[in-house]
Structure 1
Amino acid sequence: MKLITKVICLIVILMSPVIALYAYSNAQSTRLVEEQLTIANRQRLAIFMHQIEAAMEQVSQYSNLISQDPDFAQFAGNVIPANGYDYAILSDTLQRKLSLFSTSNAWMNRINAYFPGSGHAVSSYSLLPYDEAYLLDQATTRWTYRNIRVDGADKMAFTRFFIVPASAASDIRKADVIVEIDLMADNIERLLDSFKTKGNNDPFLYRSAGELVLNGSAEESTIRRLIAQEGSAIAADPAEGYRSVSLDGRRYLVYGLVSAKIGWTLVDYVPLETILAPVTYSRNLFYVTAGLLILTGAGAAYMIYSQVQRPIRQLGEGTVRLERGDLSARLPPGNNRDFAGLFRQFNRMAEKQQHLIEKVYREQLRAKEAVMKQLQSQINPHFLYNSFAYIVSMAQMNRLEPVVSMAYSLSDYYRYSTRNERLDTTVKEEVAFVRSYMEIMNMQLRKIGYKIDIPPGLEAVDIPRLLLQPIVENAIIHGLEPKKGGGSISISGRAADGIVRFMVEDDGVGLADETLERLNASLKETEPPGDDCGLWNVHQRLTHRYGSAAGLLLTRSESGGVRVTLSWPDVSNP
């Protein structure tokens, strides 16, 4: 046997197993590509459909906002201003709110609100007449696809009516408000364009032959022939994840996903030869190149992937999780020494960031909760009722001077207590507020005296708002009102040894030593002791503002009543 023959035979013997192995590998690769492509496409279809459903769900929430808005409630309750100017202002306000709702969504939309009770209508686009016949004919609580007219142009849109209350759906004339939301089909067309990748696939949204939403470069004739051939079976086979369809001599893989919320089917189809083109090219390339080179390249690629790309991808995924607000994102240490140090630094950074953000968030929540509870506790309806009853009584007796005095005091009181643009105030303003409150209570009860002794140097000190009034109110309610005869309250302030102290004393009925101890202990609890939490709120606000060295202390006063001492570090003179 010639040498050349031996070499050829040896090459054939060596290459035959490689070729056979590659043939098998190619068949498995083809199957794997189809499976992975099916998984990827199903995920992409699910994400795309979720975007559509999420957008529709978002705009659906506008109906709740509209039904709860006080301005819209005027039209819904047929409380229409008789003055033409006020009516115009209210109509303009409603239209601007609808426009704001409309523009807050990235998708182009139109929002119309109809008020059967008053026979009015408002639109986010332009003036809209109330048309009961239109509502009776068109109003449906399901998403429908129809032609609408916007700014003189015809547009296809997804429309849904929201009827409030829902029980009025059978007779819309009994509804308080009917909200019509139109989502332009152009939004979905643009989304389909972004879904289309490299021109290989051709996604579209489908419900029936006459209801189609296509992408901007869709082959409409192919799509309609595909629908005519497959009909309602165009949705993917649940067992396979896709359908294989032959059309005009070409094979297509058709992927479909039905939305249970809107009743539409998202369909995407790809020519089979396009899907297998990379595999076919790789197979042909293998027959003209050396198998060893391919295996070497594959090994090198895998090494790069496992040693470089995978760690970078993990780092990117961790960064994305942090960006999305997942503060628990951590990276596994792994065996890659080149990236282990970077991963440890990332984990330490994420842990520190989580700690700082959670700390700030907790502090903000505590501060806001304390302020809100304190503000709410000030607006006492019984206090307001008693004040108005006093005004009425004095007016009936034609005693105008007490009426004027009470009105001025109430004005000062509520102007201060409801002003929340600033959380801080000065001692001078807080004392003036307390003086207004004491004047009001003295006019109501006619047995309360008070004395205020604040050094001028303390009047400009910044303190949290509504700090002293809850203490004074507590002294009046629990100390002076139960006492027979008159009583008095003393308010004093001092700054010494780096500590600011304010004392509020009364000569009322007082408290037992056990009660004082229990109250002092309850101030340090993390939760308020009950409905009467005025002292607890003040104590918590002081500790949150100035630290654990600040707070309240309840003791017995020399006159037999209760003394409440407020103290905190003097930050104005560090």
Structure 2
Amino acid sequence: MKLITKVICLIVILMSPVIALYAYSNAQSTRLVEEQLTIANRQRLAIFMHQIEAAMEQVSQYSNLISQEPDFAQFAGNVIPANGYDYAMLSDALQRKLSLFSTSTAWMNRINVYFPGSGHAVSSYSLLPYNIDYLLEQATTRWTYRTIRVDGAEKRAFTRFFIEPASAASDIRKADVVVEIDLMADNIERLLDSFKTKGNNDPFLYKGAGELVLNGSADEPTIRRLIEQEGSQIADSAGGYRSVSLDGRRYLVYGLVSPKIGWTLVDYVPLETILAPVTSSRNLFYVTACLLVLMGAGAAYLIYSQVQRPIRQLGEGTVRLERGDLAARLPSGTNRDFAGLFRQFNRMAEQQQHLIEKVYREQLRAKEAVMKQLQSQINPHFLYNSFAYIVSMAQMNRLEPVVSMAYSLSDYYRYSTRNERLDTTVKEEVAFVRSYMDIMNMQLRKIGYTIDMAPELESLVIPRLLLQPIVENAIIHGLEPKKGGGSIAITGRAADGTVCFTVEDDGVGLADEALERLNLSLKETEPPGDDCGLWNVHQRLEHRFGLDAGLLLTRSESGGVKVTLSWPDVSYL
């Protein structure tokens, strides 16, 4: 393990208990703040809900007062003045009394009174026509939240119907008096505004299915996303609180359900705002801890850069020399304490490089001599056969083939004996093979061939006379003994870091045992007899590209022999 890693680990080990202890203390502080906030909000919710229930209960008492008032009892008993003037005066008196009832509290409300027996109705706001269909559809003894029209304007209100006698609730036509009390939602909104303090909380009433009463400055988009996310679970927080994540922020949500009206009073506060002092203290501690860790890491880096890294550079330089990198040198001017040691190492490396390069150059000369000797062994093999062809044509007085063969042999020999250049390109080698195949076809007149080389291989540098010996071997041992014509297919590809050439014939072929013996003979240190063309090419490939290169003989699908030449693609690596 590196020194800097050890020092950083030590700092982390020392700081971990301190950070853990502070984290525990911070968590306890946060929990305490949440508990105290919960207690305070629970009390405030209970007081506020009590105010709403008390106001609704107070308004509900108007129904008893109205049913006992003599003028209303006269209408309820269907004792209506026959004189139009007296009827108008009585109706006006009833409306003034309803207006007095509706304005007796600070809460805005509307009172409508219906007399099913006489078919009359009166309202605290304006003239009200009697509508039995409306009563049958809307009359309910529970508080409902709906939209009403007051003086031509639409308002949201809590509505409840009081039916006298109570037994007439099943058939409202039998009722003496039906009192409709509308408690305007504006009253609840003002009460919610008074409940909202310093802008940190945002109370609202919620029942579900779109029934929602907000305060005057409510964040309605946030409230609706909260309801959409939590749904009915908001009511489940009654008597306690829920921690809710919304848009990446945490909120504490408090809820209290009223059994009298069936609504839930909900208040939510952003936790970040409440815990801002605690969070600020926590962040300050963490910043200080990070600075201490960074200072420790800086000190460890100084030790690493001034001591451990020079030692490591010296070790790496030694390893590079051991692996054969004779150009390995150390920067002697980077560290004064190790400068002398680095200079001694560089002088030693220079001396070793000089000696090893001298030996290496001698080995290269010896290897080049071996390559030239192996390459020269290939040429006589083909030359003997060609001379035999010329002699045969001359004996038959066929001068034109003799002249053509002489010129072709001249081109062939000029290419094959160019020992000053041991290398050639794939394009030149393929052109040479084409000439050779044309010459052989002049002799045998039964050989066809195809050459398919990848375009990117044309400029690849390879040893000279690499493909011709393989083609020659295929003709002599595969196609010549075959009755009738034959063909040779030559292909070249490069893939996955390997160059691969194949020479495949459809000749007489070899048995599996013979193929195995040939593959084994290629690895011998001495050529296997006079027929050394394949062995020669294999040895040259190993000399040039290493032990991963060479030949492999297999059975062709057409019945002949398939020779595969492969070696690592140095340009790919």
Aligning the two structures, in what range does the TM-score lie when normalised by the shorter sequence? 0.3 to 0.5
The alpha-carbon deviation at position 281 of structure 1 amounts to: 3.5
Q: Classify 1:556/1:281 alpha carbon distance in 2 versus 1 (closer, same or farther; 3 Å).
A: closer
2:566, 2:556 → 1: CA distance?
A: 17
Secondary structure in 1 matching 2:236: coil
The answer to which of 217-226 and 294-303 deviates more is 294-303
Q: Is the 2:4–2:301 Cα contact (8 Å) retained in structure 1?
A: no
The alpha-carbon deviation at position 260 of structure 1 amounts to: 0.9
1:148-199 CA deviation, whole Å, 9 max, x = no partner? 0001100011100000111000011111100000011111111111111221
2:522, 2:380 → 1: CA distance?
A: 26
Q: Classify 1:114/1:199 alpha carbon distance in 2 versus 1 (closer, same or farther; 3 Å).
A: same
Q: Is the 1:209–1:224 Cα contact (8 Å) retained in structure 2?
A: no
Q: Classify 1:308/1:564 alpha carbon distance in 2 versus 1 (closer, same or farther; 3 Å).
A: closer
The alpha-carbon deviation at position 125 of structure 1 amounts to: 0.5
Q: Is the 2:11–2:293 Cα contact (8 Å) retained in structure 1?
A: no
Residues 328-407 of structure 1: pairs in structure 2 closer than 5 A? none
Cα root mean square deviation, aligned: 37.0
1:102-144 CA deviation, whole Å, 9 max, x = no partner? 0012111000011111111111101111111111111011111
2:82, 2:387 → 1: CA distance?
A: 30
The alpha-carbon deviation at position 28 of structure 1 amounts to: 2.6
Gaps of 5+ in 1: none
Tell me the residue number matched to 2:553.
554
Q: Is the 2:72–2:94 Cα contact (8 Å) retained in structure 1?
A: yes
Kindly indicate whether structure 1 or structure 2 has the higher relative contact order, using CA contacts under 8 Å at least 6 residues apart.
2
The alpha-carbon deviation at position 227 of structure 1 amounts to: 1.2
Q: Classify 1:288/1:538 alpha carbon distance in 2 versus 1 (closer, same or farther; 3 Å).
A: closer
Segments of 4+ in structure 1 off by > 3 A?
1-27, 236-240, 281-574
Q: Classify 1:546/1:389 alpha carbon distance in 2 versus 1 (closer, same or farther; 3 Å).
A: closer
1:372-394 CA deviation, whole Å, 9 max, x = no partner? 99999999999999999999999
Tell me the residue number matched to 2:23.
23
Secondary structure in 1 matching 2:309: helix
Q: Classify 1:414/1:296 alpha carbon distance in 2 versus 1 (closer, same or farther; 3 Å).
A: closer
1:428, 1:563 → 2: CA distance?
A: 22
Q: Is the 2:3–2:300 Cα contact (8 Å) retained in structure 1?
A: no
Secondary structure in 2 matching 1:413: helix
Q: Is the 1:502–1:565 Cα contact (8 Å) retained in structure 2?
A: yes
The alpha-carbon deviation at position 279 of structure 1 amounts to: 2.4
The answer to which of 245-254 and 385-394 deviates more is 385-394
Secondary structure in 1 matching 2:337: helix
Q: Classify 1:48/1:366 alpha carbon distance in 2 versus 1 (closer, same or farther; 3 Å).
A: farther
The alpha-carbon deviation at position 33 of structure 1 amounts to: 0.9
Q: Is the 1:374–1:466 Cα contact (8 Å) retained in structure 2?
A: no
Q: Classify 1:290/1:536 alpha carbon distance in 2 versus 1 (closer, same or farther; 3 Å).
A: closer
The alpha-carbon deviation at position 58 of structure 1 amounts to: 0.5
Q: Classify 1:63/1:14 alpha carbon distance in 2 versus 1 (closer, same or farther; 3 Å).
A: same
2:416, 2:97 → 1: CA distance?
A: 30
Q: Classify 1:266/1:3 alpha carbon distance in 2 versus 1 (closer, same or farther; 3 Å).
A: same
1:219, 1:190 → 2: CA distance?
A: 16
2:321, 2:37 → 1: CA distance?
A: 29
Gaps of 5+ in 2: none
Q: Is the 2:490–2:503 Cα contact (8 Å) retained in structure 1?
A: yes
The alpha-carbon deviation at position 435 of structure 1 amounts to: 165
The answer to which of 559-568 and 143-152 deviates more is 559-568
Larger Rg: 2
Residues 109-508 of structure 1: pairs in structure 2 closer than 5 A? 109-234=109-234, 237=236, 241-281=240-280
1:418-444 CA deviation, whole Å, 9 max, x = no partner? 999999999999999999999999999
The alpha-carbon deviation at position 29 of structure 1 amounts to: 2.4
Q: Is the 1:116–1:173 Cα contact (8 Å) retained in structure 2?
A: yes
1:511, 1:34 → 2: CA distance?
A: 91
Q: Is the 2:376–2:417 Cα contact (8 Å) retained in structure 1?
A: no
Q: Classify 1:296/1:33 alpha carbon distance in 2 versus 1 (closer, same or farther; 3 Å).
A: farther
1:527, 1:92 → 2: CA distance?
A: 136
The answer to which of 61-70 and 197-206 deviates more is 197-206
The answer to which of 195-204 and 496-505 deviates more is 496-505
Q: Is the 2:541–2:550 Cα contact (8 Å) retained in structure 1?
A: yes
1:50-91 CA deviation, whole Å, 9 max, x = no partner? 111111110000000001111110000011112222212211
1:534-555 CA deviation, whole Å, 9 max, x = no partner? 9999999999999999999999
The alpha-carbon deviation at position 285 of structure 1 amounts to: 7.3
Secondary structure in 1 matching 2:451: strand
Q: Classify 1:562/1:3 alpha carbon distance in 2 versus 1 (closer, same or farther; 3 Å).
A: closer
